[in-house]
Amino acid sequence: MAISRREEIRALNADEHALVEKTHHPAVQELSDADLSGLVKLVRERRDKAQTEAHRRRREMRGKGAPKGAAASKADSGSQVKLAVLAMAMRRLNGEAERRRQLAASLALTESARKALAMKQQAKGDGAAFNSRTARKGMRSVANQKVASLVRPAELGRQRKAGKVAQAKRDAR
């Protein structure tokens, strides 16, 4: 379920909201790689902290954990929304990092292919063969290592068919 920006503002404090605002579309693509990795680290820390808080509140509500304050928590909807907002921000950051990684890999592959083509064209221009291995004395026949079977093929077929008939008789009982 999508969370509106108004709900994000309500769920987060000011500095968390400033971090999450950087993860939305136009802003996240303008970040440098170093800024992106730093932002990933900060948002991950905030998300983990919110997750711990949400788990603690849920335990308090079930009566399994000691209350942090004077009384146990009655609801944890605010902490759940905060966790969801930070998790979606983390997902957006991970997606942007993966997009940049794939773009870099694609550029590297293209550059490598261009370099290989240039090397191949240079080798053709020098007059040297692309693959310089030669046959020397030519091909030699290789002896067949498989041992010839002494059983006639007709006998093998007869035995196979006899087994099928016997199995059919057993199945028909």
pLDDT at res. 161: 97
Within-domain flag for 142: no
Taking residue 137's Cβ as centre, other Cβ atoms within 10 Å add up to 6
Within-domain flag for 28: yes
pLDDT at res. 10: 87
- Are 89 and 23 in contact, with CB atoms under 8 Å apart? yes
Range of the domain at 111: 5-126
- Are 101 and 55 in contact, with CB atoms under 8 Å apart? no
Residue type, 136: R
Within-domain flag for 168: no
How far is Cα 112 from Cα 134, in angstroms, rounded to an integer?
28
Within-domain flag for 159: no
Closest alpha carbon to 3 in 19, 18, 24, 30: 24
pLDDT at res. 124: 72
Within-domain flag for 70: yes
Bigger pLDDT: 99 vs 5:
99
Greatest distance between any 2 Cα atoms in the chain: 94
**pLDDT higher than 70, residue 17:** yes
- When pLDDT is cut at 50, 70 and 90, the band that residue 42 belongs to is very high
Structural domains of the chain, count: 1
Within-domain flag for 51: yes
Within-domain flag for 74: yes
**pLDDT higher than 60, residue 6:** yes
How far is Cα 54 from Cα 129, in angstroms, rounded to an integer?
69
Looking up tokens 């090397």 gives 119
Would you say how long the chain is, in residues? Answer: 173
Least confident of 102-106, 125-129, 142-146: 125-129
Within-domain flag for 150: no
